């Protein structure tokens, strides 16, 4: 057997892996009302499901190995096991356990693929990462779309088991690619492809700066995507199926915004794209909190997705330009899981205590403002010029 033209994982498999990660990341939003009814949960309990998944994602990200392809393999296995277990869970507690394992897999997948891509694509890194993360957003968009299409016809357990099966397919594909490399050329140096140029490592202030950006962004995005279906159901006076399409609109904005961001970042710096993204996100989050109709909620969902689209690829490109070690990059990406675990849960607590999910949207609004302020005053880095 001849060695493949691309090292494992191939670019197609990287896109497939991030699409699965997007599906898993956005999984709870569209089905949360069903789970809340099935397990008789209040908002604060529903938030625990998000917390379990993103705590697992944090652990997955911080434990990524220097052997990035093996981390991807582990991530696909954990995704299959965790989401399969979640599908079969009869209670909220067991569901949290399954989501924790599945989240661990998501953390391994997202972190390993983004580090591999950031090191392979050195020219126009922000644009390349934006195109690759288009697949992540596409998966998240499909999560809402498939929920609206499939759940009226199939049991939730069957849909979730099918999702777990996709991880098994990715696992087998990666294993075959890695076996093909070994049998094609035993002297093939896979390590050099994984590590890329020598990694210097981040200084303390820069390390904390990027970690702070990602933890707040993880919370901001998940607050919006995780609670939007419930928000639209309560304040848009629509059915569950129609409310699920509102979450779909958010992810459509993110998905096609990533394509636009890829083109924009060929012409402007990543820092400029990052700042415009945060300013618009803060403005539209405030507008969403004041929306009182299904049409206005849907419209703000779209523009919120478009405004958030450039942030992650731009920020990760700036991070990789600082040449962090694999462990440092993994931890920076992983801490987004802490924000994604803590802020949506806090939103649920605020909503339960104050009796208003609209009031709870103040939390992601403040997060966007803090991120904007941080982007305006970064620490001195190697890539100081915009």
Most confident of 146-150, 311-315, 320-324: 311-315
Query: 245-280 pLDDT, tens per residue?
Result: 787 788 889 889 988 888 888 888 888 999 999 999
> Which is more confidently placed, 147 or 21?
21
Average pLDDT value over all residues in the chain: 84
pLDDT at 267: 83
Q: What percent of the chain has pLDDT over 90?
A: 32
Q: Residue 233 pLDDT > 90, yes or no? A: no
Name the band, by pLDDT with cuts 50, 70 and 90, for residue 198.
low
Q: In angstroms, what CA-CA distances link 350 with 44, 268, 290, 383?
A: 8, 39, 17, 40
pLDDT at 188: 39
Rounded average pLDDT over 41-57 = 83
pLDDT at 372: 94
Residues 276, 129: Cα–Cα separation, whole Å = 18
Query: 106-128 pLDDT, tens per residue?
Result: 999 998 998 888 777 766 777 77
Rounded average pLDDT over 214-220 = 92
> Which is more confidently placed, 231 or 83?
83
Q: Residue 46 pLDDT > 80, yes or no? A: no
Rounded average pLDDT over 180-194 = 50
Q: Residue 143 pLDDT > 80, yes or no? A: yes
Most confident of 162-171, 248-257, 330-339: 162-171
Instruction: Give the up-direction half-sphere exposure of residue 134: CA atoms within 13 A in the CB hemisphere.
Output: 16
Domains and CATH numbers, the chain: 11-376 (1.20.1250.20)
pLDDT at 191: 44
Under DSSP, the state recorded for 241 is H
Residues 6+ apart with CB under 8 A from 125: 118, 317, 320, 321
> Which is more confidently placed, 186 or 267?
267
User: Of the candidates 347, 367, 365, which has an alpha carbon nearest to the alpha carbon of residue 356?
Assistant: 347
Residues 64, 110: Cα–Cα separation, whole Å = 10
pLDDT at 242: 66
């Amino acid at each position: 057997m001849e060695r493949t033209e691309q090292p494992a994982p191939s670019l197609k498999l990287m896109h497939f892996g991030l699409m699965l990660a997007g599906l898993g990341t956005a999984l709870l939003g569209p089905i949360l009302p069903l789970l809340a009814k099935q397990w008789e949960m209040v908002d604060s309990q529903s938030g625990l499901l998000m917390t379990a998944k993103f705590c697992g994602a944090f652990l997955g990200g911080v434990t990524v190995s220097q052997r990035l392809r093996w981390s991807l393999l582990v991530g696909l296995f954990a995704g299959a096991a965790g989401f399969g277990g979640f599908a079969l869970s009869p209670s909220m507690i067991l569901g949290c356990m399954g989501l924790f394992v599945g989240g661990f897999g998501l953390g391994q997948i997202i972190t390993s693929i983004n580090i591999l891509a950031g090191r392979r694509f050195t020219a126009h890194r922000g644009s390349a990462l934006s195109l690759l993360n288009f697949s992540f957003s596409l998966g998240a968009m499909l999560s809402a779309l498939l929920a609206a299409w499939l759940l009226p016809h199939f049991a939730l357990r069957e849909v979730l088991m099918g999702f777990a099966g996709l991880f098994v397919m990715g696992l087998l594909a990666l294993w075959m690619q890695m076996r093909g490399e070994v049998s094609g050329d035993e002297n093939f140096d896979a390590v050099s492809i994984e590590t890329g140029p020598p990694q210097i490592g981040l200084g303390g202030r820069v390390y904390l700066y990027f970690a702070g950006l990602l933890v707040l962004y993880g919370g901001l995005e998940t607050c919006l995507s995780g609670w939007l279906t419930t928000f639209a159901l309560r304040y848009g006076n629509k059915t569950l199926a129609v409310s699920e399409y509102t979450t779909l609109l958010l992810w459509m904005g993110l998905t096609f915004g990533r394509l636009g961001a890829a083109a924009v970042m060929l012409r402007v710096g990543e820092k400029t794209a990052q700042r415009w993204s945060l300013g618009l996100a803060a403005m539209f989050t405030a507008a969403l909190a004041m929306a009182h109709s299904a049409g206005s909620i849907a419209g703000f969902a779209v523009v919120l997705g478009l405004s958030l689209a450039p942030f992650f690829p731009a920020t990760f490109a700036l991070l990789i330009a600082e040449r962090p070690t694999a462990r440092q990059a993994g931890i920076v990406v992983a801490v987004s899981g802490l924000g994604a675990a803590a802020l949506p849960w806090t939103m649920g607590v605020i909503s339960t205590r104050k009796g208003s999910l609209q009031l709870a949207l103040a939390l992601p609004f403040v997060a966007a403002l803090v991120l904007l302020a941080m982007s305006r005053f970064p620490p001195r880095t190697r890539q100081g010029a915009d």
